[in-house]
Chain A
Amino acid sequence: MSAIQITGLTKKFKERTAVQPLDLSVNQGEFFSVLGVNGAGKTTIIRMLSCLTEPTSGDATLLGQSIVSNPRAVKEIINVSPQETAVAPRLTVRENLELIARIYGNDRNSAKEKATKVIDSLGLSEVERDKAKTLSGGWQRRLSIAMALISEPKILFLDEPTLGLDVLARRELWSLIEKMKGEVTILLTTHYLEEAEALSDRVGIMVKGELRAVGTVSELNARAGNQKFEDAFVSIATESGVIA
């Protein structure tokens, strides 16, 4: 069974079409990256799939639950790391994490345990007791990602998660994601092509709200006739026609 089944999903903002009718199926445990230039519609897709914006038309099911008719059930099994860092400023790192764990239905004790686990795996222990607003941008970012992981979602949306992270933190996050691969279905957007290349099972390239090409990195390279993924990306993203 596919974890994410998208059929004809469309989003219009007044006259502007942010996402053209989209069809896509992502398998359980698959790591799928969505690439595209600024304004291509990546965040809008994540917002629709995480029930934050209603689609103009079309639907998607996440593990069988429709985002249109059953958002409550969808919200139980997903979590999101938004493109912008989203933390509670006057709570400490640990309080932020425990808050999210409790909102997703954990009692006090299991929220504590899960927070400890996530703090360890994301290397947050040295700032555990610091208020979020006193952290540097990159550390806030790590916390924001940790808050998406703590609920142990079945489907995880990461919208440009490594934006603003230093090289070490980015590597750490990659290896953490590697460990989740196969268990958690992950949909990630990024502007770092090497990130998509290193982690993805499949990649989709969006151009002006339309998913132009989908495939493994080597399939896309072959399709565009390029050796380097960056060149393949550029040639697909700047092509005017639709690839069959």
Chain B
Amino acid sequence: MRAFPFASRNLKELIRDPMMIIFAIGFPVILLLLLSAIHSNAPVSLFAISKLSPGIAVFGLSFISLFSGMLIAKDRCSSFLMRLFASPLSASDYILGYILPLLPVAIIQSVVCFVLSFFLGLSVTANVLLALVVLIPTSVLFIGTGLLMGTLVNDKAVGGIASIIINLSAWLSGTWFNLNLVGSMFKAISDALPFANAVNAARAAISGDYAAIFPSLLWVIGYAVAVLVISIVIFRRKMMNATT
């Protein structure tokens, strides 16, 4: 499989970027510490660790779209990708090569988030493992979003669009405030988008409310599949007519 040397290059390219370590691991860790400190001084039910940690996990994953988008856009704009397009790699080699290395990054990120949560009072149960699995479609969604952005726009624009997505996923996730309190319109939009659903599915997994996982998870899976399919179609088209 020629996808593997390419995937291993992409992994190296990612983990050798200090910004990526700071954002992927440092940022969620700081938020988790900060919010649980607030919670211990002035308890808010929303910031109880069993609710907070799935929310922060999803928020952390939203940064994955930034990393994957940046990597791909830079490859495209530096004509490195053009050189590869002239090589015998196939479209599926590229897609796998870009997606595969980001999955372990996403999983490690969630693991760090939950392990830290154990120290902050999250009960150590098998449900946490379930939550890790439930978060995989969310990872795929954000990786696919990055693939789509990186295929369409340059690396500067990826930064801008990714920050919009990161903000959207924060505001509309129900991690920071109760969505019901803002208004029915806001709630309806949040329910239609994948972010709150991703958080709800992970929260349901953590709390052992297995029946509640699937309705939310299906939304996320639907979005993940749609974004992935669209980005693959566009990527293939770009491959046939590579312009930098």
Are A104 and B83 also in contact (CB < 8 A) when A84-B78, A86-B78, A99-B9 are?
Answer: no
Are A82 and B88 also in contact (CB < 8 A) when A53-B241, A90-B12, A102-B2 are?
Answer: no
Count how many chain B residues have C-beta atoms less than 8 Å from C-beta atoms of the other chain: 26
Assess the B9–A95 pair: CB atoms within 8 A: yes
Assess the B88–A103 pair: CB atoms within 8 A: yes
**Other-chain residue from B9, B83, B90 in contact with A91 (beta carbon distance below 8 A):** B9
Assess the B13–A78 pair: CB atoms within 8 A: no
Residues of A with C-beta under 8 A to B108: none
Residues of B with C-beta under 8 A to A80: 83, 86
Assess the A147–B83 pair: CB atoms within 8 A: yes
Assess the A99–B6 pair: CB atoms within 8 A: yes
Assess the B88–A95 pair: CB atoms within 8 A: no
Residues of A with C-beta under 8 A to B84: 103
Assess the A90–B88 pair: CB atoms within 8 A: no
Q: Does A190 reach chain B (CB closer than 8 Å)?
A: no
Assess the B5–A86 pair: CB atoms within 8 A: no
Are A100 and B12 also in contact (CB < 8 A) when A86-B82, A88-B80, A105-B2 are?
Answer: no
Q: For A108, give the chain B residue with the smallest CB separation.
A: B5
Q: For A53, give the chain B residue with the smallest CB separation.
A: B241
Q: Does B242 reach chain A (CB closer than 8 Å)?
A: yes
Give B14-31 as 1s and 0s: 1 = Cβ < 8 Å from A's Cβ atoms.
001100000000000000
Assess the B88–A87 pair: CB atoms within 8 A: no
**Other-chain residue from A53, A104, A147 in contact with B88 (beta carbon distance below 8 A):** A104
Give B220-244 as 1s and 0s: 1 = Cβ < 8 Å from A's Cβ atoms.
0000000000000000000011111
Q: Does A50 reach chain B (CB closer than 8 Å)?
A: yes
Residues of A with C-beta under 8 A to B80: 86-88
Assess the B12–A103 pair: CB atoms within 8 A: no
Q: Does B79 reach chain A (CB closer than 8 Å)?
A: yes
Q: Does A76 reach chain B (CB closer than 8 Å)?
A: yes
Q: For B85, give the chain A residue with the smallest CB separation.
A: A52
| Distance A47 CA – B79 CA, assembled complex (angstroms) | 12
Q: Which residues of B are interface residues toward A (Cβ below 8 A)? A: 2, 5-6, 9, 12-13, 16-17, 74, 78-80, 82-90, 240-244
- Give 19 CB contacts A-B under 8 Å: A50-B86, A52-B85, A52-B242, A72-B88, A80-B86, A82-B79, A85-B79, A86-B78, A86-B82, A88-B13, A89-B78, A90-B16, A90-B17, A91-B13, A95-B9, A95-B12, A100-B87, A102-B2, A105-B88
